[in-house]
Amino acid sequence: MGVSTGAASFAAGGDTVTLGNRDLIFARAIERPEMPILAQVAIGQSEQGQVDLKSLGFETWPEMLAQSTMAYSKGANEAAMQIYAPSKPVPWRKIVTYSLHYDSAFLLAEGPAQGTVTMSWSLRGRWLAFLDGDATAGTVMTVLEASAVSIIDRPRDDARRELPRRAESCPELRKGFGSRRP
């Protein structure tokens, strides 16, 4: 399922949250690093011995999944993930959150992958901070209040569909990561 330990986390109650693809194995990721695969989140429930797969609704490549990162908040019971998708001339970065409580994924922001993004939750999961920067454009810090972003239930099938956007209620993120303020 997962090809990056940076995109996996322990959740409340011993469960795990892992970004990956059900059919992806290490050998296939090495043999075909640019093979299109559906981005999925797996919730591993250790006590029940089962894994619940959720589609994020877009494709990525194994080599891009390996570079993805995750920040989990025990207080919010939510994971924020930085995921890359194929695009020309540079990969496309998507910041997606997955709420275990609401069983829903949301697109927070997206844009060209320029530089690095570091994410961190506040202690109780009320705030999510992004530090987005590169050497040529500078650095921008954005902080979102989790309660200011509405929860919208997402269909629970495996179909490819667009994620609901939390950025609609947050003007700072509407332009995505490709634009910087002076």
3-class secondary structure for 18-69?
Answer: EEECCCCCHHHHHHCCCCCEEEEEEEEECCCCEEEEEEEEEEECHHHHCCCE
Residue with tokens 């999925």: 40
Which alpha helices (DSSP H) does the chain contain, by range? 26-31, 62-65
The predicted-structure confidence for 84-117, as pLDDT tens digits, reads as follows 999 999 999 999 999 888 888 888 888 888 888 8
Quote the number of domains for the chain.
Answer: 1
Confidence of residue 83 (pLDDT cuts 50, 70, 90): very high
Inside any domain, residue 92: yes
Task: Find the domain containing 31 and state its range.
Answer: 5-173
The predicted-structure confidence for 61-75, as pLDDT tens digits, reads as follows 999 988 899 999 988
Inside any domain, residue 112: yes
Inside any domain, residue 178: no
The predicted-structure confidence for 142-178, as pLDDT tens digits, reads as follows 888 765 443 333 333 433 444 555 444 343 433 344 4
Inside any domain, residue 182: no
Give, as one character, the DSSP assignment of residue 6. Answer: G
Q: What confidence score (pLDDT) does residue 80 get?
A: 92
Sign of CA dihedral 125, 181, 95, 9: negative
Percent of the chain surpassing pLDDT 90: 20
Average the pLDDT over each of 34-38, 57-61, 120-124, 134-138 and give the range with the smallest value.
134-138
Inside any domain, residue 95: yes
Per-chain mean pLDDT for the chain: 77
66-70-76 Cα angle (round to 5): 160
Inside any domain, residue 52: yes
Inside any domain, residue 181: no
What is the mean predicted confidence (pLDDT) over 7-33?
83
Strands (E), the chain: 8-10, 16-20, 37-45, 50-60, 69-73, 78-85, 92-99, 104-112, 116-121, 127-134, 138-145
Inside any domain, residue 27: yes
